[in-house]
Amino acid sequence: MKQLLSNDIVTLRPLEPTDLDLLYRWENDTALWVVSDTVAPYSRKALWQYLEEYTGDIYTQRQLRLMITLTGDGTAVGTVDFLNFDPLNNRAELGLFIIGEQRGKGMGHHALDLITAYAREHIGLKQLYVFISTDNVACLRLFEHHGYREVGVVNSWVKRGQNYQDVVLMQMIL
C-alpha cells in the first residue's frame, strides 16, 4: 500500500515536543526572517506553547505544519506548511523550508511530491499557491518543475533592509 506521507527518501510527520530545539533554532535564524515575515525572535516558552496547543487540525487552525525527516533515520531536514487555508474555496498557501546543508539534494522535490498528493487526495484542496522572491531562482525552478505556474508578480512585496523585493505568485490547480 502506498504511504501518503512517506517515500524512500523523506517522511512528513506531525510536530512533536522533541522538535522544540530545532524550531527554536530555525525560527530564530535571522537570515530566514525575510521569507517568514518574522520581525522578532521567538522565546522557547512561546514555541513550547505553540507545540502544546498545536492540533494539526487544518480546519480549526487554518494551517498545518509538518516536519520533513529522512525516512531512514528520522533526521529532521525541514518543514512544509499549509498557510491561510481557505476551506470555502479549497485552497492554501504552501510554505517549504529545507535546511541549508540539505538543499540541492532533492529533499524539496520529494517533500513537494508528498504534500501535493496529501493536499489532493486527503484534504481535497483544489489549488495551492506560493509567493517566491524573484531572486530565488532555485525555488522558482523547483515549483515550476512541480507544475506551479506563474500567475503574477507582486511588486515591492517583501522588505529587505531599506529595499523592497518583488515576489512571483505561483499557483497549482490540483
Report pLDDT digits (tens) over 42-71.
Answer: 899 999 998 999 898 999 999 999 999 999
Q: Which of 139, 142, 144, 170 is nearest to 35 (CA)?
A: 139
Condensed to tens digits (0 to 9), the pLDDT of residues 64-119 reads 999 999 999 999 999 999 999 999 999 999 999 999 899 999 999 999 999 999 99
Global pTM reads 0.92
Instruction: Give a yes or no: residue 58 inside a domain.
Output: yes
> Which pLDDT band holds residue 29 (cuts at 50, 70, 90)?
confident
Q: Does residue 36 have a pLDDT over 80?
A: no
pLDDT at 3: 79
Q: How does pLDDT run across 135-173, given as a tens digit for each residue?
A: 999 999 999 999 999 999 999 998 888 999 999 999 999
Q: Give mean pLDDT, residues 15-21.
A: 93
- Residue 140 belongs to some domain of the structure: yes
- How many domains does one find in the chain? 1
The answer to whether residue 121 is domain-embedded is yes
Q: What is the pLDDT of residue 31?
A: 79
How far is it, in rounded angstroms, from Cα 54 to Cα 156? 33
What's the rounded Cα separation, in Å, for the pair 161 and 157? 13
Cell numbers found for residue 33: 526572517
Looking at the domain assignment, is residue 3 inside a domain?
Answer: no
> In this structure, is residue 1 part of a structural domain?
no
The pLDDT value given to residue 2:
61
Q: Look-up: residue for cell 540541492?
A: 104
Strand partners for 136: none
Supply φ then ψ for residue 101, to 5 degrees.
-70, -10
C-alpha grid cell, residue 17: 515536543
Which 3 state secondary structure label does DSSP give 101?
Answer: helix
Q: What is the pLDDT of residue 160?
A: 82
Q: Provide the CATH number for the domain around residue 113.
A: 3.40.630.30
Residue range(s) defining the domain that contains residue 67: 10-173
Q: Are strands 163-173 and 127-133 parallel, antiparallel or unpaired?
A: antiparallel
How far out from the chain centre does Cα 47 lie? 17
